Amino acid sequence: MKIWTGFLINLQFFTVVPVKKQLPMEKVYIKRAVQTFPLLGLLQGALYITVLYAMVEWTPLSPLAIAFILWLLTIMITGGLHIDGWIDASDAYFSYRDREKRLEIMQDPRTGAFGVISVIVLLSCRMFFLYEIVQHLKDWSYSLIILVPFLGKTAMGFVLMQVHLAKNEGLAAFFQSTAGKGSTSIYYVYLVLGMLPFVFYKHPSVYAVLFITFIVSVFFLKRKIVKWFGGITGDVAGASVEGVEIILWMAIWLLHYGVTV
C-alpha cells in the first residue's frame, strides 16, 4: 500500500523507530510520505500522552520528574534531527550576514556559539513549559498535547513544499522536486478533521487558540524564511518544526493559566 510505504519512509527518516527494510524512494512514495507528515506527528502526540498518562496515574513520580521524562522523549523520538536544523539555522540567522553567507554557514558542520545558545534556550523553554503544564493538568490538557507534534509536522510540510527553494540541492530540493507542491492539499482535510471533534467539546475556545496560533505561525514563517534565508532548506524546515512547536507549547502553558475550569 503506497500510503503505508510513505508513512514508513517518515518513520525511518524522521524518527528513531527501527524500520529495518529497504524502502522504495520513487516519486509516488515520496509524495505519500509528504502527505503523511501530519499523521507521523499524530503518532508522536499519541506516544506523548500515553507516557504522560501512565506516569501521572500509575507512578509516584513528582511533576518535575514526569516533565523531565516527557521532555527527554520529545528529543529522543526524532533523534535530535529537527534540533540539528534549529542549531544550524540559528547559527546562520544570528550571524546577521547576507543570504548567501547564511546558506554557507548552515552547510558548515561546525557549531557556533549562537547555535549552542539558541538550543539551550529552546530546550530550557520546553522543559519549563512542560513542567508547568504537568503541574496544572486539566481534563483537556492531553488532547492539546497530542496536537503539538501533529501541527508541528503539518507546518513542516507547508513550509517545505510551499516556500521556494534557497538552493537547488539538498533535502528540501529533493522533496519539492519529487513530491510536488500540490502534495500538501490533503493537509487542509487533516486540519478540518482535527478541529471538528473539539468544536463540541467542553472548552472549544482552547483548541481554537491553538489552531489560530498554528495558522499565524505558518504564515509568519512562509514570509520570513524567504527574507532571512532566501528560501527553504532542509535545516530551515527542521528549525520550523521546533519553532512552531515551542510556540504551541507556550500557548498551552498560557491556556492553563487563562482557563481555570
Chain segment 111-131, per-residue pLDDT in tens: 888 899 999 999 999 999 999
pLDDT category, 261, cuts 50, 70, 90?
low
Is the residue at 3 inside a domain? no
CA-closest candidate to residue 39, choices 2, 74, 6, 82 = 6
Can you read off the three cell numbers belonging to residue 196?
Answer: 471538528
Is 132 part of any domain? yes
How many Cα neighbours within 13 Å face the side chain of 175?
Answer: 29
**Does any domain span residue 44?**
yes
pLDDT tens-place string over residues 98-108: 778 888 888 87
How far is Cα 230 from Cα 51, in angstroms, rounded to an integer? 40
Number of domains within the chain? 1
Question: In terms of pLDDT, which residue wins out, 242 or 183?
Answer: 242
Residue 96 pLDDT exceeds 80? no
What pLDDT is attached to residue 2?
A: 75
Residue 152 lies in a domain: yes
Average pLDDT for 3-18: 86
pTM of the complete model: 0.94
Helix (H, G, I), strand (E, B) or coil at 129: helix
On the 0-12 / 13-18 / 19+ scale of CB atoms within 10 A, 219 is: exposed
Average pLDDT over residues 10-38: 86
Overall average pLDDT of the 47-60 stretch: 96
Stronger pLDDT, 82 or 203, i.e. the higher one: 82
- Give which of 235, 248, 257 is closest to 118, Cα–Cα: 235
Of 174, 170, 169, 235, residue with least CA distance to 9: 174
Residue 183 lies in a domain: yes
Note whether residue 119 is domain-resident.
yes
Q: 191 lies in a domain?
A: yes
d(CA 131, CA 69): 10
CA distances from 133 to 120, 126, 143 (A): 20, 10, 13
What totals of helices (H) and strands (E) does the chain contain, helices first? 12, 0
Overall average pLDDT of the 188-195 stretch = 87
pLDDT at position 104 is: 84
Average pLDDT, the chain: 89
Condensed to tens digits (0 to 9), the pLDDT of residues 207-234 reads 888 999 999 999 999 999 999 988 999 8
**Structure confidence by residue, pLDDT tens digits, 174-190:** 888 888 778 899 999 99
What gap in Å lies between CA 92 and CA 179, rounded to an integer? 27
Q: What is the mean pLDDT of residues 62-90?
A: 93
What cell was used for 146?
497530542
Domain that includes residue 63, residue range: 37-258
Q: Is residue 28 part of a domain?
A: no
Please report the pLDDT score of residue 18 as a whole number: 82
Residue 158 or 203, more confident = 158
What is the C-alpha separation between 10 and 5, in angstroms, rounded? 9
